[in-house]
Structure 1
């Protein structure tokens, strides 16, 4: 059974159709929950390899897990192409999110979201304060930091 914080995070992300999870590691619970709700999720991590690199399609949405470095993606000439997502209506990324995002990856994550014209939301390791400007949203058992809101949906 999912924790209250995981359920609350999935509910907070539910308004976005296409999402990018940064630093997924082998914890794909939030991504899988979003896919089960009909969302398309690309999840990246520097430690992903082997079977985690395959595409998975569920009845409702899709999950693509890829090897990727948020710093390199933020600096890429075309981050959307590097992620294998298109541009234009009905394509691309609506929101970039991360769970337990360490301080040193917060700025590149926000930079990547900005380049993708996507919202950016994250939780921290708990003992760290955000190092980027954010709005705080209290969720059960955690705080969700909103570093960037998109322009097409209400925050």
Structure 2
């Protein structure tokens, strides 16, 4: 088994307290989403174009721990501009009639929106989506870029910095 890179491990550790998550820009790197699903979390991974690596990671994904991973073709910029109900519908998320009101801190049925290597041009939209859904927002950058949104920094033992925008 290949050991995930430090940045991936750091992000998984930082997201461990959240049950329902959205990954923005999953691309060809579904490792964080897969690791979270394997630990019992519900993850919806989005990207403008869903590629085979992400589809394969999600195919029939019902982790023994009860976690799930779904991949959805969606544009974070468009989702951030939608109202909460439209964004939930596009992602196939939201509280069901049976669970409505059980998680007042996460009205959108999502606890956190996160991204790995989030480029500056998508940071505002990602934070806006998290705000729209009442969720926390955490991300790492490409490394050479500084965040263009207000954040606090959380340094990890591996030297990876996880940015917390909400």
Encode CA deviations 1:120-151: one digit per residue, 9 max, x unaligned: 00011111110000000112232110000xxx
1:56 Cα deviation (Å)?
A: 2.3
C-alpha distance in 1, partners of 2:36/2:148?
27
Instruction: Decide which structure has greater strand share.
Output: 1
Partner of 2:120: 103
Query: What does 1:47-66 align with in structure 2 at a 5 Å threshold?
Result: 47-49=49-51, 52=55, 54=59, 56-60=61-65, 61-66=67-72
Aligned residues: 148
TM-score normalized with structure 1 length:
0.89
C-alpha distance in 2, partners of 1:129/1:113?
19
8 Å Cα contact 2:6-2:160 kept in structure 1: no
Distance 1:47 1:136, change over 3 A: same
Pairing partner for 1:132 from 149, 152, 161 = 149
Partner of 1:41: 43
8 Å Cα contact 1:42-1:66 kept in structure 2: yes
Partner of 1:15: 17
Any gaps of 5 or more consecutive residues in structure 2?
none
Partner of 1:146: 164
The runs of at least 4 consecutive aligned structure 1 residues that moved more than 3 Å come to: none
Matched, 1:27 2:29: yes
C-alpha distance in 2, partners of 1:68/1:141?
31
Pairing partner for 1:117 from 112, 134, 139 = 134
TM-score normalized with structure 2 length:
0.83
Partner of 2:110: 93
8 Å Cα contact 2:28-2:51 kept in structure 1: no
Encode CA deviations 1:36-64: one digit per residue, 9 max, x unaligned: 11001000001205671756222120000
Any gaps of 5 or more consecutive residues in structure 1?
149-155
